[in-house]
Amino acid sequence: MAKFIVDGNRRLQGEVDLQGAKNSALPIISATLLCSGESVIHCCPIISDINASIQILRYLGCSAKLSDHTLIVDSKDMNRCDIPENLMNEMRSSIVFLGAIIARKGKAKLYFPGGCELGPRPIDLHLSALRKMGVIIDERYGLITCRVKDKLHGAKIALPFPSVGATENIILSAVLAKGTTIISNAAREPEIVDLCDYLVKCGAEIYGAGESTIYIYGVDNLTPTVHTIIPDRIVASTLMAASAVTGGELILNGIISSHLDGVIPLFEEAGCNIKVRNSKLKIDSPNRLKPFKSVRTMPYPGFPTDAQAVMMSVATVAKGTTVFVENIFESRYRHVEDLTRLGANIKVANKVAVVEGVDRLFGAKVVAKELRGAAALVVASLKAEGRTEIEGIKYLERGYEDLEVVLSSLGANIRKV
């Protein structure tokens, strides 16, 4: 089993290009099922979650080839409507295939998804929305069987929480449905906008993406197209965190600065100097950081839950106290135990974590338990004195492409063994 070996306490400096967004690529890959023909997706990250999605496409009868960050999918020969349990278990985002399969085939059979354990992430919002659109659903023993009597139809759907996954599944189901679908309290994330941009290029009629109410007018068919995935804002936050903890200087190429509005003010609060020009971001960090005071995860455009763990690593070496409040997932402090092994001073009570910054971190053997927690351990290890061994990097590779190579190019002493 692979692990990272990190000899820390080295200042990072340099320039890197940002990878494509995992959370944008996955629903767009699912959306290619709605277009009977060849779709071309550029800037597709080469990560294990993408590989799992490609396996699902091929199982469904599609051809899919990923080369040099370009994914070519031809779905004209799609001949299945089920996904076996072993493929569903590869990632939690696999549920996003549900809406696309139903829209294309009028039926679907799949299992509850796997992936990182972040506490309850129920899919009842997905299923209740699909029922309103005419889907008959049977759930038993972890198997979800869906069918449509005639054709999917539009509906007014008010989400009790702006769930990204539920919003995506509703959109994927509605674009080919009969009539109009209105989603109230929809997720507003940039990845939702990117999915809708792709579908509109294919001929879908969608209005309001990025706003709290989305209108979808069903069309008869969609045409394959060429699309470029947006940059990954969570990877950007991670690299900024790596620069910050080491007192480094980093230039990120290919960013969309508005997507980082929830995190840039925190880095500035910590004493980092940030300059943005066109699609470049430069972060210049002080030798000792100030605390963030308070970090509350919220749906977009608030501070993203996916960046909470790496920002906590930054807070561990700030001069003062930072309070984190996790409002999205119940089990998103699983990285805390291993950060304390590195010398961090963190106390957790329910959804609140209080981080008292320390002067130094020290290398140790740690084990990642989920994707963003793995990134947090990497960030902290870059600051730690001595050697850190990080196991469980399979989680990291679900969302980060060759992170050890990127960090090495910036001056880190990190290798995969």
How much is the pLDDT for 140? 87
Domain covering 3-19+231-416, topology = UDP-n-acetylglucosamine1-carboxyvinyl-transferase; Chain (3.65.10)
Sequence-distant (6+) residues with CB within 8 A of 12 are 242, 243, 246, 248, 249, 250, 382, 407, 410, 411, 412
Instruction: List residues forming the annotated binding site for phosphoenolpyruvate.
Output: 22-23
Phi, psi of 55 (to 5 degrees): -60, -40
DSSP code of residue 396: H
Domain boundaries of the chain, sorted by first residue:
3-19+231-416, 22-228
Sign of the alpha-carbon dihedral angle for 97, 399, 274, 294:
positive
Q: Does the fold of domain 22-228 match that of domain 3-19+231-416?
A: yes
Long-range contact pairs involving 73-76 (C-beta distance under 8 Å, separation at least 24): 73/29, 73/32, 73/38, 73/39, 73/41, 74/37, 74/38, 74/39, 75/32, 75/33, 75/34, 75/35, 75/36, 75/37, 75/39, 75/104, 75/224, 76/36, 76/37, 76/38
* pLDDT tens by residue, 345-391: 999 999 999 999 999 999 999 999 999 999 999 999 999 999 999 99
Q: Return d(Cα 165, Cα 226) in angstroms, integer.
A: 23
Q: Where in 122-173 does DSSP place strands (E)? A: 135-140, 143-148, 156-158
pLDDT at 141: 83
Count Cβ atoms below 10 Å from residue 386 Cβ, excluding itself: 14
When mean pLDDT is compared across 66-70, 121-125, 296-300, 311-315, the lowest value belongs to 121-125
Question: 54 in helix, strand or coil?
Answer: helix
Residue 43 phi/psi, 5° resolution? 60, 35
Question: Which residues participate in the annotated binding site for UDP-N-acetyl-alpha-D-glucosamine?
Answer: 92, 121-125, 306, 328
The tokens describing 312, both together, are 């906590």
Give catalytic residue positions: 116
Average the pLDDT over 93-119 and give the result: 82
| Alpha-carbon Rg for the chain in angstroms | 21
Query: What pLDDT sits at residue 371?
Result: 95
pLDDT digits (tens, 9 = 90+) for 317-331: 999 999 999 999 887
Residue at token pair 């291993």: 338
pLDDT value for 118 = 41
Is residue 114 scored above 70 in pLDDT?
A: no
Does domain 22-228 bear CATH number 3.40.50.970?
A: no
* 210, pLDDT greater than 80: yes
Q: How far apart are the first and last CA of the chain?
A: 8
Other C-beta atoms closer than 10 Å to the C-beta of 337 total 15
Which parts are annotated binding residues?
A: 22-23, 92, 121-125, 306, 328
